[in-house]
Structure formats: structure tokens, C-alpha cells
Chains A and B, each alone.
Chain A
Amino acid sequence: MTDTCEETLGVGLLCEGQHDPGTPPAGLRRAPSGVDGLTTEHLIINMGPQHPSTHGVLRMLIEVDGEEIVAAEVSVGYLHRGIEKLAEHRRYDAIGTLMDRGDYVSGMMGEHAFAMAAEKLMEVEVPRKAHWLRSLASELNRLASHLVWYGTFGLDTGGMGQFLYAMRDREALLDILEALSGQRMMFNYIRPGGVVADLPLGLEEKIRTFLSTFDMYLEEHDQLLGGNEIFQSRVKGIGVIDRGIAQCFGLTGANLRAAGVDFDVRKARPYAAYQELDFEVPLGTKGDAWDRYMVRMEEMRQSARMIAQLIDGMPEGPHTAKVPRVIRPNAGEVYASVESSRGETGIHLVSDGTEHPYRMHYRGPSLYAAQALEEILPGHLIADVVMIIGSTDIMLGELDR
């Protein structure tokens, strides 16, 4: 059966320390099948692309032995719409619209990564205020994105109440982001050279009002879901992504930090205003779904802290540098990455000096999280699958691009 499994699903992954050909790959760990002379038959289950718990259009083929998963294959591409190719035919100031639609729950970060890459080529000095506004927009967006994750993660466990509370807070955040940028989701706010508009009048007060209750609400959220014993017993100890797996599968963001690796692009490679802000990077220890939950909840607290600092210390000055109408950056090749809600969003930008990029590669952190699922799912029960997918917080828009 081992052979057929490898043939049909093509899964036989291995990680650090398992280079000895004698040891079975981690993807094929299993309990000895057949109790008292009974043999069991493996079954391949299709999950998705239409499934309420795959957070989009992820498709998985899961091979099960009874209730236990023996192998899993992630099949993607149901949302492949050519962001990379179309960027070669768009002008630099118009690519932000494509980046928004990549990771569509946290569009600011995608724009930010692209703007940073373009600025490296343009050799333009971004004003200090633009940096602060970018950080402010990113952190507000991170809160909105994490709230979506929080609500849907609870939905995966069968809860409904936390989704409604998360959506209530998210609507308040979207109101702020709409006042800032003019759109609820597809902002196109951060552009090469700066941001598109200054803080509108009265928004500072609005953000302060939001923050005055948000910390209390966040504790409420944490108690509602994290304090629930059923939720705890369903997520504790499942989907363990330890340090080795996280590093060799290229995971970033909260998934990596839950495994105890202290790497946050905002701290390790400071950009925008993060150097001047006081915040902590929460770390997990074991790397299970519970750790990922705790890390993201703590990240929300830190984001709220940062927003307060950003509002208090907002500098004066212009919100954008002088950028020509048609941007023609120098020829060259750069890489810029930011810490998005899901991990490290990177842009590999190649320019040939014309008004269109020659090539733009978009690194979506979800791609790496999704392929790690193939490694971590075997050995779990069917009911754990949606929990593990939910805990990794994948977003199919940036996975397929």
C-alpha cells in the first residue's frame, strides 16, 4: 500500500535528519494497520475547492486509513489569475491595484512591498510622514486581517458567536481604512514614493475612539474562543510545526514564530516606521495550532499598541515624495519584503528602465504554509484537517497569484 500511496499522491516528503534512505519519509508515518488480522482499505477523500473551511478555493486530496490520515496532497491553482504576468503590462503606479487583489484581506502589505521594491530602483527618498502613514495603514489592516482569521478559525471549530463579534470590530476598522484610502478592501493607498493622501480631518479622533474599546474587546474575543474548553481541547497539540519543519519548508510570519523562531521582518529588517516603534514579537514554544492562535492574538495586542504610538507621534510634513507621473526607474533587480499578516510578502522586481516592470515575482507566504500541510497532516484525524488549515491562516489569492 505504501507504494500505491506514493504513486497516486506523489507524497513522500522528508525533513531534516531523515536523509537516510532506510527510514520512512515523514509523510508516510502511520499506525500499524490491521488489528486482529483485519485489514483496512485506504480511501482517498477529495476536499474542496468548494468547501467552507478551506478559506477560499484550496483543494486537498486526503488518503485516510479509517479516521487517520496517511497522506495528503494540496492541489492549488483555482485562483491563478496572472498577477505576475499582468504586472509586466501595467505601469508602476497601477500595479498596486493588482497587489491589493493578491492578498485581498491585507492589501496594504502587498502594496507596501511593491512600493518598497519600486523605490529601491527609483532611488527616491520617502518622506518621514509617509513612512508613518504606511505603518499606520499596515497595522490597521493587520488587525482587520487577523480578525477575519479569528472569526473563521472559530467557524472551523463550529462556533458562530465569535465570528459576529470579530466582524463587528472589523467593520469599525474598515470604516477607518475607508476614510483613509477611499475603499473598504482594495485600498491602492501605498504607492511608489509615499501614500496617496494625508490623514483626513478627524480620523485621529476616530482611531482613538476605536482603540479605547478595542483592548477590552480583544480580551473578550480571547476569552470567548481561547477560554473555551472545547476549543482548547480541539486545537492543543495538533498540527505541530516544529522549528525544523518550519525552517526547511520556508514558513514565515506567525507560523514560524509559533515554532519559536524569532524572526519578524519588522524587527529583523526594519522598514517604514517600525524602527522607532516599541513593540514585542510574540513567540510560541511547541508550534502547534494553539501556539499559532496565541501568537496571532498577541500580535493583535501589539498592533493596537503600535497604532496608538503611530497616532501620538505622527510627524508633520509631506505625505509623498515628488514622483514623476510616468515612473521609469533605473534598470536593475531588487528584492523587497514586508511582514504581512500571513508572513513575509516579498517582491522580486526586475526593471529594464521602461515604464513597465520587466518581471515581477510575488512571494506569497501562504504557498509555503500550504505545502507544509502535506508534511504535517499525516497522522492526524479527519476532524483535525480544518483546524490545521485554519490555524495556518492561508489566503488563496496570494497562493495562486
Chain B
Amino acid sequence: MLPAISDIERLLAALPDVAVAEELLGVVARVSLADAVPALVAIKAAGYESLVDFDGIDTGELIELTYRLRSYALDTELYVKTSVAYGGTIESVWYEYPSALMPERETAELLGLHLAGHPNPKRLLTTDGVPPLLRKDVLIRSVEEVKAR
């Protein structure tokens, strides 16, 4: 279910540059990268105890991060979006949401980001030397490459 936009706006009123809107995705709060952790702390204090999903999208200019949060008591879901430059650093939210531990590692690895404040910032899925595979500039194998296996 969707939370009321005014509630979320009130929750994040202390932060500059916050835009809350209802989109096809759901209720989305867009914050700047520096405000992402304070915003998530405030949202957690408001009862959104579960980070259900976390992923990144390579938009071609930036990497857009999406946090999907859920409150079981309020029965609502909320999306928080922020953007980070290529090769940038994201602040870990594992202290507030331990469920971010592995998704953060995965996103950082597959999109070529760095993690700050993470207890175990190792690679998760691939071995050393593998390029950030989910970036749009990393191409998949061509038909010729596969045929000449």
C-alpha cells in the first residue's frame, strides 16, 4: 500500500533537496547522495523497519540507487532514490538496515562503486579482475565469440 506523501515530506523536512512524488513505481522520495543515510535513518525511526530490496541502475550518466523499504506495522512501502557518479562512493546503511549488507556489496561490485563504512567490503559474486558487469559500457559476448568457443 502507498503511504501518504505529506507524511513522508514531513519526515524528511529537515533535509534539503527532497522531492517526494507518487510515480508508477510507488511513492518515491528522491534525495541527494549526501542525504541518503540521514533520510534512511529518519525513515527507519518512523517505523520502516525492513529494507526489502536495494539495487542500482546505470542510467548512462549516473548510477541511480533504489532502496525499497517496508513497514509491517503501517503496511506501506516506500522507495528512496539517490544518484551516484561512476566510480563514486556510497555510504553503507548496514547499521540501520542489516539486510543491505550483501545487496550493497553486490551493487558496488557489479556497477563499479566503492563502499564506505561497510564491515566487509569484499567482492560478493565474482572473482578479482572481472569488470563491473552491470554497467552499460561492459558488453556481453558477441555471437562470433560464442561460436568460436
Contact = CB atoms under 8 A, between A and B. Distances in A.
Interface of A: 6, 9-16, 19, 73-74, 76-77, 80, 82, 84-86, 89, 120-121, 247-250, 252, 261, 263, 268-269, 332-335, 344, 346, 348, 350, 358-359, 361, 363, 367-368, 370-371, 375, 400
B66 A348 contact: yes
A248 B51 CA distance: 7
Contacts of B102: 74, 76, 367-368, 370-371
29 contacts: A6-B119, A10-B119, A10-B120, A10-B122, A12-B119, A13-B98, A14-B98, A73-B120, A77-B126, A80-B126, A82-B140, A85-B133, A85-B134, A120-B24, A121-B24, A247-B50, A248-B49, A250-B99, A268-B75, A334-B24, A334-B25, A346-B53, A358-B57, A359-B134, A361-B53, A361-B55, A367-B102, A371-B102, A375-B98
Interface in B40-76: 49-53, 55, 57-58, 66, 68, 72, 75
Contact of A335 (B68, B94, B123, B125): B68
B137 to A, nearest CB: 12
Interface string B85-117: 000000000110111011100000000000000
A363 B52 contact: yes
B58 A359 contact: yes
Contact of B99 (A73, A335, A368, A400): A368
Given A85-B134, A86-B140, A252 B125 contact: no
Which of B24, B26, B53, B66 has the most chain A CB atoms inside 10 A of its CB?
A: B53
Given A76-B125, A335-B79, 15 more contacts: A9-B120, A13-B94, A13-B101, A19-B95, A74-B102, A80-B125, A84-B134, A247-B50, A248-B49, A333-B23, A344-B52, A348-B68, A363-B52, A371-B98, A371-B102
Contacts of B37: none
A370 B134 CA distance: 22
A248 B77 CA distance: 15
Nearest to A16: B49
Contacts of B123: 77
Interface of B: 1, 23-26, 49-53, 55, 57-58, 66, 68, 72, 75, 79, 94-95, 97-99, 101-103, 119-120, 122-126, 133-134, 140
Which of B49, B52, B72, B97 has the most chain A CB atoms inside 10 A of its CB?
A: B52
Contacts of A14: 95, 98
Contacts of B124: 76-77
Contacts of A344: 52
A82 B139 CA distance: 12
A62 B50 CA distance: 27
A12 B98 CA distance: 11
Which label, helix, strand, loop or mixed, suits the secondary structure of the B interface? loop
A9 B119 CA distance: 10
Which label, helix, strand, loop or mixed, suits the secondary structure of the A interface? mixed
B81 to A, nearest CB: 10
B97 A248 contact: yes
Contacts of B98: 13-15, 248-249, 371, 375
A252 B52 contact: yes
A328 to B, nearest CB: 17
A227 B23 CA distance: 51
A84 B26 CA distance: 22
Contacts of B133: 82, 85
Nearest to A12: B119
Contacts of B55: 348, 361, 363
B82 to A, nearest CB: 15
Which of A16, A120, A249 has the most chain B CB atoms inside 10 A of its CB?
A: A249
Nearest to B107: A361
A253 to B, nearest CB: 12
Contacts of A6: 119
B99 A350 contact: no
Given A248-B98, A333-B23, A371-B102, A348 B53 contact: yes
A222 B22 CA distance: 47
Contacts of B126: 77, 80
Contacts of B52: 250, 252, 344, 346, 363
A6 B66 CA distance: 29
Contacts of A10: 119-120, 122
A333 B28 CA distance: 11
A387 B97 CA distance: 26
Contact of B101 (A335, A348, A371): A371
* 4 residue pairs, one from A and one from B, having the closest CB atoms: A250-B99, A10-B120, A77-B125, A361-B55
A80 B120 CA distance: 19
Nearest to B118: A10
Contacts of A15: 98
Which of B97, B124, B125, B133 has the most chain A CB atoms inside 10 A of its CB?
A: B125
